[in-house]
Amino acid sequence: MSTHSTASRLRILRVALVAAFAATLPLLAPGAQAKGTLVYCSEGSPEGFQPQFFSTGTTFDAASVPLYNRLVQFELGSTNIVPALSESWTVAPDGKVITFKLRRGVKFHGNANFKPSRDMNADDVLFSWNRMADDNHPFHKVTAGQTFAYFEDMGMKNIVDKVEKLDDYTVRFTLKRPEAPFLADMAMDFASILSKEYFDTMQKKGTPNAADVYPIGTGPFEFVSYQKDATIRYKAFDHYWGGRPKIDNLIFSITRDATARYAKLKTGECSVMAFPKPADLDEMKKDPALTVLQKEGLNIGYIAFNTEKKPFDNKLVRQALNMAIDKDAILKAVYQGQGQVAKNPIPPILWSYNDAVKDYAYDPAKAKEMLGQAGYPNGFDVDLWYLPVTRPYNPDGKRMAELVQADWEKVGVKTKLVTYEWAEYRKRSKTGEQQAMMFGWSGDNGDPDNFFVPLLGCEAVKGGGNVARWCNKQFEDLIIKAAQTPKQADRAKLYEQAQLIFKEDAPWITVAHSVRFDPIRKEVKGYKMDATAHHYFQNADMAK
């Protein structure tokens, strides 16, 4: 046989293989989505399904949002607190006793190992709280290695004295001190209500920690299955107290890469996607198959001056550098116009936002003059730390740093840009070695206290959350008083004053509040974005 004929056989084989491959591909194309099923392309795997243990948004989306409820909740789309598992509540005049009247007829889910025999009642509320609060509770350490991190981070042990059952449907929380943000805290994920009966049943079966692994809640969806790093399946809970969800099945398709999530949304493999890349938004908006929902973020991106270090211990310097920055240019270049310039440490979406506060206008000439008054007519050298990662409140730390560097250069301040790996960045920031640094915050709940205290309170200097290391007595008194004042209107006035002091003292440059986006397919109806960055699907429906 000749070389030529061997080669031609091989060539024929090659062509046949390629043709076969190409012919098979269309047969393998992804199918259309089943009716009544909504697929959500989520950004990562949950750490577990027990909301008391964890503190990431990814886990909350997969656990506390679809599966559980709290005594109160945030009205979808706002930070207003509305009834959930409690129908009503009263706060004693001293602000230290809160009594919740529980909703009747609330059913728990069931699974192969557990069929609930009763409705949710006060025993479940006490159980859920006490297992976190009481170190000697029989279920406190039932799952090895787990801690109630969020409960501790929110300082609940120092806030709540005791929880009592007055009757099957009345629960009383007694606080150690008046704490107005407490209601908002109770709407947070860690305060989800678990089934006491379920944990007792699992304990009798000899596997108490199974109750922490296979979730049973009162939420709009029941847990079906989880394939690690791949899919989470839920089905609509027929007996949901808030009305059965419109869709029959909810599936989380875990897709870590944002480009892949977008591709899946385009091809219809999912109907809603989490966290789009800012660079893709323009194209998404032009796609007739997609709708890009947007919502003001409950966040703030800022540059903090270390007020314990020279030259930033001088208020004039801080004010001057505030004036030296062109925030509009930053918003355009870094946030691609998708956000708003910040003048307060809290976003406008939050009640008590003081719109009367006047921001430092961009005025390099005046900034230079003020630096002269402060004793720095020729400027100075400064290290500016910039974020090494994209955060919801700041999509591009480096770009922002470059713009700030150029702006400060104009007033004689020579800026050296510095950064560290993200974990290292945070670690160092807590020791106070920084001069000026970029940081930010996304609110945990809809209470202004959740911005002021962890970011600007004197205690937070020790904890490291207050990276400006700014401790202003007048400001501190106001935010503490506000936390202890029961009426929201009175609290708002105190926070408004606090914002004036903050602006005048200028421990930060408040840069921007970013906007969040949820791209969805046109078939999805009734989906509404949440204010606290969770993803709720109980009102969503799929058009035919």
Partner 1 sequence: MFAFILRRIALIVPTFLGVTLLAFALIHLIPGDPVENLSGERGMDSERRARLLHEFGLDQSLTVQYFKYIGQVVRGDLGTSLTTHEPVLREFATLFPATVELAFFAMVFAVCIGLPAGIIAAIKRNTVADYAVMGISLTGYSMPIFWWALLLILFFSVQLGWTPVSGRIDVLYDVPTTTGFMLLDTLRSGEPGAFRSAVSHLILPSIALGTIPLAVIARMTRSSMLEVLREDYVRTARAKGLPYWQVVLVHALRNALIPVVTVIGLQVGLLLSGAILTETIFSWPGVGNWLIHGVQSRDYPVVQGGILLIATIVITVNLLVDLLYGVINPRIGHG
Binding-site member from 118, 285, 427, 528 for partner 1 (CB under 8 A): 427
Give yes or no for a contact between 329 and 341, defined as CB atoms under 8 angstroms apart. no
Binding-site member from 112, 136, 144, 473 for partner 1 (CB under 8 A): 144
**Beta-sheet pairing, 72-74 with 37-42:** unpaired
Tell which positions 476-495 bind partner 1, by CB under 8 A.
none
Q: Decide if residue 394 touches partner 1 (CB under 8 A).
A: no
Contacts of residues 365-372 at CB distance under 8 Å and 24 or more positions apart, as own/partner, are 366/320, 366/323, 367/320, 367/321, 367/322, 367/323, 367/324, 367/411, 368/320, 368/324, 368/411, 368/412, 370/316, 370/317, 370/319, 370/320, 370/323, 371/316, 371/317, 371/320, 371/411, 371/412, 371/413
Q: Decide if residue 421 touches partner 1 (CB under 8 A).
A: yes
541 by Cβ neighbours in 10 Å (0-12 / 13-18 / 19+) ranks as middle
Quick one: tokens of 21? 């491959």
# of chain residues touching partner 1 (CB under 8 A): 73
Shortest Cβ 104–partner 1 spacing (Å): 35
Binding mask 212-251 for partner 1 (x = CB under 8 A): ------------xx-xxxxx-x-----------------x
Binding-site member from 16, 20, 149, 166 for partner 1 (CB under 8 A): 149
Write the DSSP string, 101-130: EEPSSPPPP-BTTB---S---HHHHHHHHH
As a residue count, the chain comes to 544
Q: Decide if residue 260 touches partner 1 (CB under 8 A).
A: yes
CA 175 vs CA 82, 183, 484: distances in Å: 21, 12, 11
Q: Decide if residue 147 touches partner 1 (CB under 8 A).
A: yes
Q: Decide if residue 266 touches partner 1 (CB under 8 A).
A: yes
Shortest Cβ 345–partner 1 spacing (Å): 13
Shortest Cβ 490–partner 1 spacing (Å): 27
**Beta-sheet pairing, 37-42 with 339-341:** unpaired
Shortest Cβ 379–partner 1 spacing (Å): 30
Q: Decide if residue 55 touches partner 1 (CB under 8 A).
A: yes
What's the distance, Cα to Cα, between the start and end of the chain in Å?
62
Binding-site member from 99, 113, 130, 146 for partner 1 (CB under 8 A): 146
147 versus 497: smaller Cβ distance to partner 1: 147
**Beta-sheet pairing, 381-385 with 436-442:** parallel
Q: Decide if residue 14 touches partner 1 (CB under 8 A).
A: yes
218 versus 429: smaller Cβ distance to partner 1: 429
Shortest Cβ 388–partner 1 spacing (Å): 10
Give the separation between CA 4 and CA 289, rounded to whole angstroms: 53
Binding-site member from 93, 145, 243, 288 for partner 1 (CB under 8 A): 145
Shortest Cβ 463–partner 1 spacing (Å): 4
Q: Decide if residue 29 touches partner 1 (CB under 8 A).
A: yes
Q: Decide if residue 23 touches partner 1 (CB under 8 A).
A: no
Binding-site member from 8, 15, 30, 208 for partner 1 (CB under 8 A): 30
